Amino acid sequence: MSADTEIGEGVRGAGAPGAAGAAVPGAGVRGADVSGAGASGASGADVSGVGAGVGAGVGDSPSARLQALFEGHRLTPTQRRIAHSMVRRAADVPFLSSVELAELAGVSQPSVTRFAVALGFDGYPALRKHLREVAPAEQPAGSAAHNEYQQAVEAEIENLKHLAELLADPRPVQRAGRLLAASRPLPVFGLRAAASQAYGFAYFAAKVHPDVRLLNEGGTMVHDRIDAAVRAGASALLCFALPRYPREVVDTLGYAREAGLSVVTVADSAFAPVAKVSDLLLPAAVGTGLAFDTACAPMLLGRVLLEAMCDDLPDAQARLEEFDARAAARGLFVE
């Protein structure tokens, strides 16, 4: 198969993106049903792989440990916002004061205390003590010599390792692949930082799917295009949502669900604000060590979704072979 690659852009996630209404594993909150994490019971999105493998001893990244800690707790929207901020800064959280965490999440200091109590601790100091105790051992002295560019690469490697752990249970991705393959047409939606992810997925998907419609521009027209897709027979929409999350993305996904579409979302966290307006959410973390976020894991998850979709498109191989034959006849690519 001939293919050109697309590297996703990222926009710096400043502070704590508002996550009111975001779904929490096992929280019973409208909008999230945790799949593959040993927790369920809410209506709306399946948040796939959240904390997956942590109980089995395979997820040892800071974000995985935090997600495992949050599982099964009923949290308020403000507390979910704190949880989302902690996951995004997982490595730093054990060393933050309650005031610093409150500033990071954009909430009050008493809210942080109530959050710690909701998790079963006497207060925030007890929560921070626990996080320090379960933190991994100090890295070898040589690793501290890595410059900021190397550290950014190492952080992305950890994000990819965590994604691999989540994919140990392939069922959520397989379910997403079936939903996307069955939708004719298939709208693919992404704005701002996620626009390049949506474009890359749509570019490759069009080689195997008969009708892919890229929605990467906002405004009132996007609702018109969703309406047109529904009239043409669409049953699902794929969304890429990365921080900072445009309010328009949340509104548009809500509109898509009201129009009858099943919304499959790739987001950087199970606590993302888009969880409440998604039917199936697949998390893939972004890197935050550079001026602009890095999105290697979301891009790779998009390619995995493409593979799963191909498995449910019986004529996918024939379409690829036809494309390659035409590309060769046109001299489209050079060796």
In whole angstroms, give the CA distance from residue 119 to residue 92.
Answer: 19
In degrees, rounded to 5, the angle at the alpha carbon of residue 108 between the alpha carbons of residues 102 and 114 is: 90
In whole angstroms, give the CA distance from residue 91 to residue 155.
Answer: 10
State the maximum Cα–Cα separation within the chain, in Å, rounded to a whole number.
Answer: 71
Per-residue pLDDT of 95-129, as tens digits, reads 888 888 988 888 898 899 999 999 999 989 989 88
Rounded percentage of the chain residues whose pLDDT exceeds 70: 79
- Quickly state the pLDDT bin for 282 (edges 50, 70, 90): very high
Per the model's pLDDT, the better-predicted residue between 50 and 122 turns out to be: 122
Taking 50 as the threshold, does the pLDDT of residue 26 lie above it?
no
120: left (phi over 0), alpha (psi -120 to 50) or beta: left
Q: Using only the alpha carbons of the chain, give its radius of gyration.
A: 20
Record the pTM.
Answer: 0.68
Per-residue pLDDT of 299-315, as tens digits, reads 999 999 999 999 999 99
Q: Which domains does the chain have, with CATH numbers?
A: 61-135 (1.10.10.10), 161-326 (3.40.50.10490)
Per-residue pLDDT of 130-154, as tens digits, reads 888 876 655 544 555 678 888 889 9
Burial class (CB in 10 A: 0-12, 13-18, 19+), 9: middle
Taking 50 as the threshold, does the pLDDT of residue 23 lie above it?
no
- What is the structure's pLDDT at 53? 33
